[in-house]
Amino acid sequence: MFVGALVLLVAVAAVRLTSRSGLPSLLLYLAIGMLLGRDGLGIEFSDAELAQVLGYAALVVILAEGGLGTRWHDIRPAVPAAAALATAGVAVSVAVTAAAAHYLAGFPWEAALVMGAVVSSTDAAAVFSVLRRVPLPRRLTGVLEAESGFNDAPVIILVVAFSTTYDPAGQWYILLGEMVFQLAVGLAAGLAVGRAGALALRHVALPASGLYPIAVLALTVVAYAGGALLHGSGFLSVYVAALLLGNARLPHRPATRGFADAVAWVAQIGLFVLLGMLVDPGALGNDIGPALLVGGALTLLARPLSVVVALLPFRRPWREQAMLSWAGLRGAVPIVLATIPVVGGVEDSERIFSVVFVLVAVYTLVQGPTLPWVARRLGFAGAGEAVDVDIESAPLDRLRGHLLSVTIPGASRMNGVEVRELRLPAQAAVTLVVRDGSSFVPQPETVLRHGDELLVVATDEVRDAVERRLLAVGRGGKLAGWLGAGGSTGVRRRAE
């Protein structure tokens, strides 16, 4: 317990260091694991099967946090493009990377196909963390977020297939059928759990607010396990269920997202430290050359080509395609997937794991810190859009109402809006404003500012309309109802 607590504290401090230097935190976590491992403090860990099981569990939590924190209206226009990248794009990436592994690094075709599949998935944790500090337009962040949530499912299917005695050349139609079946079952399971869970939590008043985050996270795990038990894609199930739950108007939504974010950080730290302990540092030296060759082909050829081919029907500008190509980060996912051939006893599996480990470390070090510079060079610096206000809802059962806690972030267009210009429905009112540590009851002419926290009381009948109106004003300012920003004006319901 003492060692584990120290590792967590060092990892938390490392986040501060990496945020200032621009280095991805996963590299420090991997380094901590290597220091704790056989060539460091001497903690022996070589159980690839246990690492795979724990890695899957960590990925479930990471994907759940990503889905809970993703806004549906941001990624809805990007879903077709993201689906194309997660299917056709993955196929192109696997083919090109496998060819590079065979011809440049000398891997047999069977091992080369496994290598191509392992490294073809972008990492949700890496992508989500980078998008928090690199402001990009919603049309790009939506594609990147949705792709990182979708592409784990088909990639895992390919890795498992290539790690068995399966013949991809002679039985490609069987693989395609299995992939379609697993994705369909996973999607159905995620939709069912997400909708049923949202409906239940909206109508059941739990005795303590801290139970809501636990229930939501448990539902996402149920989605994963249910999809897997039905022989579907559990990873697609958990992301879809989390996406639905995160965008449902559930009580204590900010608290739920904060809890999921904290658990996801623990999962990331534990996962990277575990993978660092699993690797043999003494064997990495011989695999630096192959890792650089395969990683270079993946980063400079396979990823750009997969983006161009997958987005061909969508006619995206070349600058956006270039940004999407460079932002396709790898992280824990390829390293976890590299344990599958090790457990399956695939030829050259130990070498595949070492090459993937070096590849992820080197190219994450190259891509992560340079993303802000690439964004500026491509003209996307400062291109982020208004940030939605944070709304937390608590039910007032005996009063048949809701208490909404609203926080106005720095990029919200609610700044400068008077309380009366919110034009809330008649059954709702702003009852308190907290500003700079002091509270006061607002007047109709009170001007709202960045950082203000509002308490809004609304009846059950108008709660949804109040949330829509607050979100609309946060995006479009005082004229949101007339400028097409969506939400209700308080007089009539507008289509979003």
Confidence band, pLDDT 50/70/90 cuts, at residue 389 = low
Residues whose CB is less than 8 angstroms from the CB of residue 348 and which lie 6 or more positions away in sequence, other chains included:
107, 108, 111
- Secondary structure element (H or E) that encloses residue 306, with its range: helix 303-310
Mean pLDDT in residue range 411-436: 88
Q: Return the pLDDT at 387.
A: 54
State the pLDDT confidence band at 169, using cuts at 50, 70 and 90. Answer: low
| Contact criterion met (CB below 8 Å) for 215 and 200 | no
Q: Report the share of the chain in percent with pLDDT over 90.
A: 23
CB-based contact 391:327 (threshold 8 Å): no
Structure-block tokens of residue 435 = 């500003």
Q: Return the pLDDT at 394.
A: 65
CATH 1.20.1530.20 describes domain 26-377: yes
Please report which confidence band the pLDDT of residue 481 belongs to, taking 50, 70 and 90 as the band edges.
low
CA separation for the pair 238, 253 (Å, rounded): 18
What pLDDT sits at residue 102? 92
Looking at the predicted structure, is the pLDDT value of residue 286 above 60? yes
Checking 38-44 for CB contacts under 8 A at 24+ apart, the result is 38/277, 38/280, 39/280, 39/281, 39/282, 43/277
**Lowest-pLDDT choice from 72-81, 247-256, 352-361, 417-426:** 247-256
What number of other Cβ atoms are within 10 A of residue 3's Cβ? 10
Query: How does residue 485 score in pLDDT terms, banded at 50, 70 and 90?
Result: very low
User: Is pLDDT above 60 for 117?
Assistant: yes
d(CA 423, CA 490): 6
Q: Average pLDDT, whole number, for the chain?
A: 82
Mean pLDDT over 275-289 rounds to 81
Cα 34 to its chain centre, rounded Å, is: 26
Judged against a pLDDT cut of 70, whether residue 455 lies above it is answered with: yes
CATH superfamily of 390-479: Regulator of K+ conductance, C-terminal domain (3.30.70.1450)
Distance CA 22, CA 133 (A): 10
Average pLDDT value for residue range 275-281: 82
Amino acid, single-letter form, for residue 54? L
Read off the pLDDT of each residue in 370-393 and give the average, rounded to a whole number: 69
- Could you tell me where in the chain the CATH 1.20.1530.20 domains are found? 26-377
Q: Is residue 477 over pLDDT 90?
A: no
Mean predicted confidence (pLDDT) in 379-394: 61
More confident residue, 131 or 123: 123
Q: What is the CA radius of gyration of the chain?
A: 24
> How far, in Å, are 67, 252, 256, 394 from residue 259 at the CA level?
13, 11, 5, 16
Q: What is the pLDDT of residue 282?
A: 72
- Give the ranges where 22-108 is alpha helix by DSSP (H): 25-36, 48-68, 72-75, 79-84, 90-103
pLDDT of 166 higher than 60? no
Q: Which residues contact 9 (CB under 8 A, 6 or more apart)?
A: none
For CATH 3.30.70.1450, the residue range(s) in the chain are: 390-479
What are phi and psi for residue 173, nearest 5 degrees?
A: -70, -30
Global pTM value? 0.73
- Look at 40-49, 81-90, 287-296, 464-473 and tell me which has the smallest mean pLDDT: 40-49
Of 124-133, 236-245, 386-395, where does mean pLDDT reach its minimum?
386-395
Q: What is the model's pLDDT at position 486?
A: 44
Model confidence pLDDT, tens digit, residues 91-102: 999 999 999 999
> Which of 193-197, 259-263, 481-485 has the lowest average pLDDT?
481-485
Asked whether residue 22 carries a pLDDT value surpassing 60, the answer given is no
Quote the CA–CA distance of 234 and 389 in Å, as a whole number.
Answer: 32
Instruction: Give the pLDDT of residue 397.
Output: 59
| pLDDT given for residue 496 in this prediction | 32
pLDDT band at 487 (very low <50, low <70, confident <90, very high): very low
In whole angstroms, what is the distance from residue 496 CA to residue 484 CA? 8
Alpha helices in 314-462 (DSSP H): 318-326, 332-337, 339-344, 349-377
Partners of 2 in the β-ladder: none
Reported as type and span, the H/E element at residue 288 is helix 288-297
Task: Give tens-digit pLDDT for 405-414.
Answer: 888 887 788 8
pLDDT of residue 229: 93
The answer to whether the beta carbons of residues 412 and 388 sit under 8 Å apart is yes
Which pLDDT score is estimated for 492?
A: 36
- For the segment 299-305, the average pLDDT, to the nearest whole number, is 93
The residue among 298, 259, 376, 318 whose CA lies nearest residue 96 is 298
Amino acid residing at 226: G
**What is the rounded distance in angstroms from the CA atom of residue 64 to the CA atom of residue 267?**
11
- The answer to whether residue 382 scores a pLDDT higher than 60 is no
pLDDT at 482: 56
pLDDT digits (tens, 9 = 90+) for 175-206: 778 888 888 999 999 999 999 999 888 777 77
